[in-house]
Amino acid sequence: MKKLYFLNAITGKPLKIYLVFVTVLFVLFIMYFTYFKPKPVLSKPARQIFDDYKHPVHRESPFEGAKIVHIDLKGAPLRVSYYKTLFPLLSKLGASGVLMEYEDMFPYNSRLLKNISALNAYTYEDIKYINDLAHQNRLEVIPLLQTFGHLEFLLKLEEFRDLREVPDYPQVICPTHEKTMDLLMEMIDQVVDSHPRSKTIHIGADEVYYLGFCDRCANIMTKFNLSKNMLFLEHVNGITRRVHKKYPDLKILMWDDEFRSFSLKELKNGDLRYIQPVVWKYSKDVYEELGPSLWDMYSDVFPNVWVASAFKGATGIVLLQQSSGWKYFNYK
Ligand SMILES: *[C@@H]1O[C@H](CO)[C@@H](O)[C@H](O)[C@H]1NC(C)=O
Ligand SMILES: *[C@@H]1O[C@H](CO)[C@@H](O)[C@H](O)[C@H]1NC(C)=O
């Protein structure tokens, strides 16, 4: 009897019941996709890439060093909720850590520093959450804090304007200004304090475009007969000595590019014992462009050397679309 009635409904006689039926189905459909459908941790393509990743070279001689993914938060920072998707994926793909370049997304909290943080900066709870999540996914967090060039996020602010090496550009901090070292150490302290598990810090120091430009630096260079390279070393060593004294267990990484113009003698005399350089090159033919002598020189001076490639970005500031071929050769 009931069945007959139902059939009637579909053929349109008691139209109301048919409408109720369709409405209920629609609501169930919406609820399924909103509440019940299990959310996959990895997107399908990413999982496929991982499963298909069976290149024989990697099987025969697996790389045993650390594998770190650089997460650069300048400009378009990740939402905190996204790390929950990202970290398990990175871990599964074989990463052993993440290099977190916070820039103005770090919650600087002293009177002097608090203007540095962006309005949408992470909170202390967020930083703790990111650290805990990384730990759960067996990823070491290495905070990166620029200490020489690329301090735009700091030097663009009115209150730090007088620390610029060149008044017109907020790129490089003046290494001989009396306030510079205390300011950088205060930033380092806050970053280190909020990363209690981290065993490594990265102090940046790449692309220091203006060295010895201001009168103060020029005078000091003349007074102590310092070359630009020596001025660079004075500042970097000032930072690393302080960091090492305060946090003797921290490994200190920095970008290598400023060392490329050094002679072997200059590097050896440079007392760089606390530094592990990260050699970065994002172009197609890394070996040819850096040249074999660079590696010889670094291996003579540093017990540990890191290398950095790029899978995205870093191929020109006006590039709209990434060339995957380029990145493939960069990795090779
Ligand atoms: C932070 O910014 C506000 C508003 O621009 C300013 O009044 C204040 O002096 C700044 N703080 C410091 C420590 O410079
Ligand atoms: C200054 O340093 C250069 C090399 O760094 C050296 O050749 C020169 O003799 C020094 N000059 C003085 C006056 O010490």
Q: What is the three-class DSSP state of 258?
A: helix
pLDDT of residue 59: 47
Specify the amino acid at residue 151.
L
pLDDT of residue 287: 77
Q: Which residue has the tokens 């039926």?
A: 21
Atom 13 (ligand 1) nearest CA: 112
Q: Cα(148)–Cα(203) distance, rounded to whole angstroms?
A: 8
Of the bound ligands, which one is closest to the alpha carbon of residue 231? 2
H or E segment at 68? strand 68-72
- Tens place of pLDDT for every residue, the chain, 332 residues? 445 454 444 455 555 777 777 777 877 777 766 665 555 555 555 555 545 444 444 445 677 889 999 999 998 899 999 999 999 999 999 999 999 999 999 999 999 999 999 999 999 999 999 999 999 999 999 999 999 999 999 999 999 999 999 999 999 999 999 999 999 999 999 999 999 999 999 999 999 999 999 999 999 999 999 999 999 999 999 999 999 999 999 999 999 999 999 999 999 999 899 999 999 988 877 777 888 889 999 999 999 999 998 877 666 667 667 667 766 777 66
Does residue 227 line the site of ligand 2, with CB under 6 A? yes
Of the bound ligands, which one is closest to the alpha carbon of residue 183? 1
H or E segment at 3? helix 2-11
Catalytic residue among 186, 207, 234, 266: 207
Does residue 120 line the site of ligand 2, with CB under 6 A? no
Contact 314, 280 (CB under 8 A): no
- Closest C-alpha to 130, from 147, 105, 104: 105
pLDDT of residue 40: 52
Q: What residue segments make up the domains of the chain, in order of their start?
A: 1-38, 43-331
**Other CB atoms within 10 Å distance of the CB of residue 21:** 13
To test the ligand 1 pocket, which listed residue (115, 158, 163) has its Cβ within 8 A of the most ligand atoms?
A: 115
Does residue 223 line the site of ligand 2, with CB under 6 A? no
Is 207 one of the catalytic residues?
A: yes
To test the ligand 2 pocket, which listed residue (221, 222, 225) has its Cβ within 8 A of the most ligand atoms?
A: 225
**Other CB atoms within 10 Å distance of the CB of residue 92:** 14
Assigned fold of 43-331: TIM Barrel (3.20.20)
Supply the pTM of this predicted model.
0.81
Determine the distance separating the centroid of ligand 2 and the alpha carbon of 232, expressed in angstroms. 17
